[in-house]
Each structure stands twice: as structure tokens, then as C-alpha cells.
A and B are shown apart, each in its own frame.
Chain A
Amino acid sequence: AQSVTQLGSHVSVSEGALVLLRCNYSSSVPPYLFWYVQYPNQGLQLLLKYTSAATLVKGINGFEAEFKKSETSFHLTKPSAHMSDAAEYFCAVVNTNAGKSTFGDGTTLTVKP
């Protein structure tokens, strides 16, 4: 069984401030972890993915995430928020055998000017 918990359904930051979106997972096998972003009225698109090659993963648009096995976490960060980062963010864990993903409930990021 696998599950994902995203702490905080809404996060608000000021432009230029640090962005931190939290994701904790549980998985009975080594996890494949993903962060997706959804802009208004669009489908999801991949931000970054953990492939076990490195614990710190860099993605698009300046985002990165760190895999911490001891904390079962995969938090998403960006040093300086931009207005265009306002969107909904989803963390997902994949069942490697079936390819099915389990998604968190999502975190809506608001960026204030």
C-alpha cells in the first residue's frame, strides 16, 4: 500500500520569498516520487521526479526537492517565489509494479505581490 500526505492545502508567500511545500509518503517498496504542477484550467505537468540517482532533485522553473528516507519526505522548495508560480501542486508516489500513481490532495500556492 502507498499513500501521500501533503501538509497544508493552501500556502501563501510573498513574491521573492522562499517556497516550501511539504510531502510525506508511505510505501512498502522503494518509492518513485513526483511533483506535478497544475495551472488554472490546465492538466498536470511534471515539475520533477526522484529516480534514486540523487537525493536532491532539480526541476523546472527553479524548483527542487530533497528525498529524505529517514523522514519519508519529499518536500518541494524554491528560493524565490515568482507571481507565475501561483498554481496547485501535487505530490505523487508510484507503485513500481503497476505504474499507478497515488496523488496527494494538492497544495494551492498563492504568491502575493
Chain B
Amino acid sequence: DVKVTQSSRYLVKRTGEKVFLECVQDMDHENMFWYRQDPGLGLRLIYFSYDVKMKEKGDIPEGYSVSREKKERFSLILESASTNQTSMYLCASRSTSGRYNEQFFGPGTRLTVL
């Protein structure tokens, strides 16, 4: 089974702190994604990565950056956390072999910024 793990289920940070959210997948997937999920807004793509060291902005990248130094790990960084970044963050990965590949999701990190 594909497993996508996220470093924390719950996280509480203060405004202005630098926050790291880590995601690891164990299936050698090329693509990885970071989403935020807010009630009534569905999933919104923050950043995604085609492969190691490759990244592309999603729909809402402002206030975030990412790092992908190794294939299995994709980190989301909040340079200076703000209260409007309080949200559920979901990581996903996807294989590029085959045409109809779904994304596999981690359990999510619920981040609260005070």
C-alpha cells in the first residue's frame, strides 16, 4: 500500500514564526502536492513538484515556499506564519507511469496560528 505520512497531525504556532510541514511518501512517486483545505472552499493547490528539485506554483502560493531535495520528501514552509494561514494542510503524491493515476493523500496537518 502507498503510504503518505505528514510530520504532525496538529500544530500550534505563533504569528511570525517560521513553520515547516513535512511530507514523506514511500512509493517512489514523481509528483507531489501541497493543498490547503478550508470549509466550503474545497482543496486549493499551494505548490506541486514534478520531480526532485522541480516545483511549480499552484493557485495560492503567496506566503508559502517548498523544498524537494529528495524524491520521497516534500516540505512546505511558511516563512512568517499569519493567522490567515490557519487551516488543514494536505500532502499528496502521484505516479507518472500510466495515464489515469490518482493522487494518494496523507492524513493532514491541522495548523493553528495564534
Within 8 Å CB of B103, what residues of A?
Answer: 44, 101
- Given A90-B43, A99-B31, does the pair A44, B96 have CB atoms closer than 8 Å? no
Of A36, A43, A96, chain B has the most CB atoms within 10 Å of the CB of A43
| Interface residue stretch chosen among B13-21, B60-68, B77-85, B105-113 | B105-113
In the assembled complex, the Cα of A43 lies from the Cα of B90 at a distance in Å of: 7
Q: Is B40 a contact of A49 with CB atoms below 8 Å?
A: no
Q: List the interface of chain A (C-beta within 8 A of B).
A: 9, 32, 34, 36, 41-46, 49, 51, 90, 96, 99-101, 103-106
Shortest CB distance A48–B (Å): 9
Q: Is A99 a contact of B100 with CB atoms below 8 Å?
A: no
Within 8 Å CB of A44, what residues of B?
Answer: 43, 90, 92, 103, 105
Q: Is A43 a contact of B105 with CB atoms below 8 Å?
A: yes
- Given A9-B40, A46-B102, does the pair A100, B48 have CB atoms closer than 8 Å? yes
In the assembled complex, the Cα of A51 lies from the Cα of B33 at a distance in Å of: 22
Within 8 Å CB of A103, what residues of B?
Answer: 35, 42-43
Q: Which residue of A lies closest to B42 (CB)?
A: A105
Query: Could you list 29 examples of A-B contacts with CB < 8 Å?
Result: A9-B40, A32-B99, A32-B100, A34-B102, A42-B108, A43-B4, A43-B90, A43-B108, A44-B43, A44-B92, A44-B105, A45-B105, A46-B102, A49-B102, A51-B99, A51-B100, A90-B42, A96-B99, A99-B31, A99-B48, A99-B50, A99-B96, A100-B33, A100-B48, A100-B58, A101-B103, A103-B42, A104-B42, A105-B42
